[in-house]
Chain A
Amino acid sequence: MPTGWQDILDLGTRDATPAAVEEAGAEQRGGMFKRLRESLSKSRQALADEISASLFDRLDDETWERLEEALILADAGAPTTAKVVERLEHEVESGAVPADGEAIQERLIEILAEVASTGRAPIDLSGEPAVLVMVGVNGTGKTTTIGKIAWHLSQEFGLSVVLAAGDTYRAAAAEQLAEWAQRAGAELIRSEAGGDPGAVAYDAIDAARARGADVVIVDTAGRLHTEGNLMEELAKVRRVIAKQMPGAPHETLISIDATTGQNGLRQAKVFSEAAEVDGVVLTKLDGTAKGGITLAIADELGIPVKLIGTGETLEDLRPFDPHDFARALLA
């Protein structure tokens, strides 16, 4: 059973299963599988030559080398690739996994899904209000992701959402978020261009409390993780939020572009140091890139992917399912 929205949200004491969600969920599930398969079909094609059950029919050095090659081409990185392949090889050699093509491939998918699941936990929306902060490098799709999350929470779960336009740097960011707020039926709190992002977050939590809203989602300006002063600003926004509401933010997500290579690991690490990142939103999976860097991020930093973006439409933001992901990579 693939992961649905209701499986990845911790809504606390809120009534989380309105009828509409069940219906929409059932309908979407088929759609989601299809979409994920479609979006990954190109990478599948490329990998089909590399990885299929028949690869494991003959077990020699070349078999493992080709497996390594496939994982590295998916951007999983050398350390994680070596770990996965060594483990599988060891299990096969020790007889723990039968030396049968199908069985080995199934086990490979299990291992990959297990790595991708490192540190897996639901998106914590149990707070009242729950505060979610979105961070990431420029151009990775933060604002769009926020718009889509707000839409799902509001339209499918009937939650009231307040959006905080904390990207006060990029001129059109607040306008872009305003459009999303309108579509999702969420309230938008914003300031003048160049305003203090901490103050925007503060006001948004205030507004959410006054109106009894369920969730506050804070947008932040995109920044390169090598810009120390901007990373410090992010830490400050976090401190302002924690002061305003002890225990908040309850969830911090980083957006990572699927085409990103090994630098994605640095991004996740440095952002996590400044803003204690709980999960990854893997965006732009509709190209040919496989987003394998998220395997390395989960493996080395224990930060799991929670959502994936596979296109422009609202339905194209999906809960991350480790098995689907592994299978789609290798099937």
Chain B
Amino acid sequence: MFDQLSDRLQATLSDVRNRGTLNEGDVDAAMREIRLALLEADVNFKVVKSFTANLKERCLGSDVLQSLDPGQQVVKIVNEELTELMGGAGRDLAFAPMPGPTVILMAGLQGSGKTTACAKLAKHLGDSGKDVALAACDVYRPAAVDQLVTVGGRAGATVYEKGTEADPVEIASWALDRAKEERRDVLIVDTAGRLHVDEELMAELTRIRKKVRPHDVLLVVDAMTGQDAVGVAETFSEAAEFDGVLMTKLDGDARGGAALSVKAVTGKPILFASTGEKLEAFERFHPDRMASRILGMGDVLSLIEKAEQQVDEDEAEDLQRKLESEQFTLEDFLKQMRQVRKMGPLSGLLGMIPGMGAMKQLKNADVDEGELDRVEAIILSMTPGERADPKSINGSRRKRIAAGSGTKVVQVKQLVKQFDQMKVLMKSMASGTPPSPQQIAKLQAGGAPRPKIRRR
């Protein structure tokens, strides 16, 4: 709904260019759009209020008045302010002086994804050369210890566990002793999920913290959390005195405004983002990119980084040439698709491309991994000649391809047609002129009517 905030702002402020100045009415109208976008993204109401109040003052400043494109200018300011509020330059984990170990305590609500996050963090630190151990202190959820043993093992970490009979505080303390003996670099302590209003369990968390004296306490927060994120963060801030936040389930389509709320009310930065089922789907948190995500402006930098890790540069250059010269074939497409799929689930990638948030609503661009398997099967059932020249695929060839790939003739036909459409789109992107937001907006039928929320 708010994928096109910048379009909306441009529309709202469209007549400003003619007048040359932003008056208070213009700014109020723009603030209303921004407020709705932030609320839709689950940023806490009170945070939104103070944020837009500050923003308004800055927008009324002279730099905007002289700007040629007020809509873009406002977007830029919003993005800057959001990034600033989200944590500015960000912060790294605090490591213990040698010989260590650095102790990291993890806490959060039930179902927020702590255990998986522990393993991902272990892998992340392990990849940078640290010897990591995990302490299994979630003795309440029946399978939690087993789960940590399994995923921790997969992450290449040592797991210290004492089953589910021991006291969590004792387990933590015992694990710390072992980590010292075995000279581990890092000890990550997994704890049971708990409701922030559960005083008994919150007191237990405090006891664990006092016992192991962690260098970092991380609060694990589900990206789908709503307005209540503020209450949760405040309570955990008291009991766990957390230093930073780890956001999970960012692979879904939630905007993750909770990140902003938590930062705004506790002042604690978001350190990491978990973005999928795989252990590798984990990265350092980038405040500037999250600001763009909350505003629905895409996350180009993260995408480029992912691509850089996975795509061979020579191949990429080769591809670029082919795209520009229109020699892009189905064979290239197949290769490309496999490259991209190596980066992780496509739905996660698409969300990072500006404008794709809107494109995703187009039926044909809907991401379905099963559909991609079918596409692969269809292309693999074609002869090299057919892959190079899809136009040569006539009725009887279509029938053969469909039979070979276990699909229907109409699906083969559809693929070839989509390929043609895509070639046009990719050519324009390759030559450096991405489709404009206006073009994308035009593709959408109308859009939902705006809810009327009062000015404040």
Contact = CB atoms under 8 A, between A and B. Distances in A.
Interface of A: 42, 46, 61, 64-65, 68-69, 72-75, 77-79, 81-83, 86, 137-141, 171-172, 175-176, 224-229, 232, 257-264, 266, 284, 286-290, 292-293
A82 B42 contact: no
Contacts of A69: 45
Given A139-B110, A263-B252, A171 B146 contact: yes
5 contacts: A78-B39, A81-B451, A228-B347, A261-B258, A287-B109
A229 B369 CA distance: 6
Given A65-B456, A225-B252, A288 B228 contact: yes
A68 B455 CA distance: 11
A138 B370 contact: no
B41 A262 contact: yes
Interface string B30-50: 000000100111101110000
B453 A78 contact: yes
Q: Which 7 A-B pairs have the closest CB atoms?
A: A261-B226, A139-B111, A228-B368, A172-B143, A261-B42, A263-B254, A289-B228
B101 interface: no
Contact of A138 (B109, B111, B150): B111
Contacts, number: 145
Nearest to B142: A172
A138 B451 CA distance: 31
B227 A261 contact: yes
A257 B111 contact: yes
Contacts of A232: 368, 370
Contact of A226 (B109, B150, B347, B451): B347
A75 B195 contact: no
Contacts of B197: 42, 286-288
Given A259-B228, A263-B253, A228 B111 contact: no
B371 interface: yes
B142 A79 contact: no
A228 B369 contact: yes
Q: Among the interface residues A79, A224, A232, A263, which one has the most CB atoms of the partner chain B within 10 A?
A: A263
Contacts of A79: 451
A72 B45 contact: yes
B225 interface: yes
A82 B451 contact: yes
B269 to A, nearest CB: 21
Contacts of A78: 36, 39-40, 451, 453
B452 interface: yes
Nearest to B367: A228
B228 A75 contact: yes
Contacts of A286: 195, 197
Nearest to A85: B454
Contact of B226 (A68, A229, A259): A259
A68 B32 CA distance: 14
Contacts of B367: 226, 228
A175 B143 CA distance: 9
A69 B45 CA distance: 7
A263 B254 CA distance: 5
B167 to A, nearest CB: 20
B453 A82 contact: yes
A141 B249 CA distance: 16
Q: Among the interface residues A61, A86, A172, which one has the most CB atoms of the partner chain B within 10 A?
A: A172
Interface string B190-230: 00000111000000000000000000000000101111110
B452 A82 contact: yes
B454 A65 contact: yes
Given A139-B113, A259-B226, A288 B231 contact: yes
Interface string B107-136: 001111100000000000000000000000
B345 interface: yes
A293 B226 CA distance: 9
B368 A260 contact: no
Nearest to B347: A226
A224 B249 contact: yes
Contact of A287 (B228, B252, B369): B228
Nearest to B248: A139
Contacts of B456: 65
B42 to A, nearest CB: 3
B196 A288 contact: yes
A284 B196 CA distance: 12
Contacts of A224: 249, 251-252
Interface in B237-255: 249, 251-255
B142 A289 contact: no
B309 to A, nearest CB: 22
B168 to A, nearest CB: 18
A266 B232 contact: no
Contacts of B370: 228-229, 232
A260 B370 CA distance: 28
A261 B252 contact: no
A36 B38 CA distance: 31
B251 to A, nearest CB: 7
A78 B1 CA distance: 12
Given A263-B42, A287-B197, A226 B253 contact: yes
A176 B367 CA distance: 33
B420 interface: no
Q: Among the interface residues A72, A176, A293, which one has the most CB atoms of the partner chain B within 10 A?
A: A72
B257 interface: yes
Contact of A259 (B36, B40, B109, B369): B109
A262 to B, nearest CB: 5
A292 B42 CA distance: 12
Interface in B39-72: 39-42, 44-46
B366 interface: yes
Contacts of B451: 78-79, 81-83
Given A260-B224, A263-B254, A227 B345 contact: yes
B453 A266 contact: no
B232 A259 contact: yes
A228 to B, nearest CB: 3
Contacts of B142: 172, 175-176
A262 B252 CA distance: 13
Q: Among the interface residues B222, B345, B366, which one has the most CB atoms of the partner chain A within 10 A?
A: B222
A10 B290 CA distance: 47
Contacts of A266: 253-254
B86 to A, nearest CB: 17
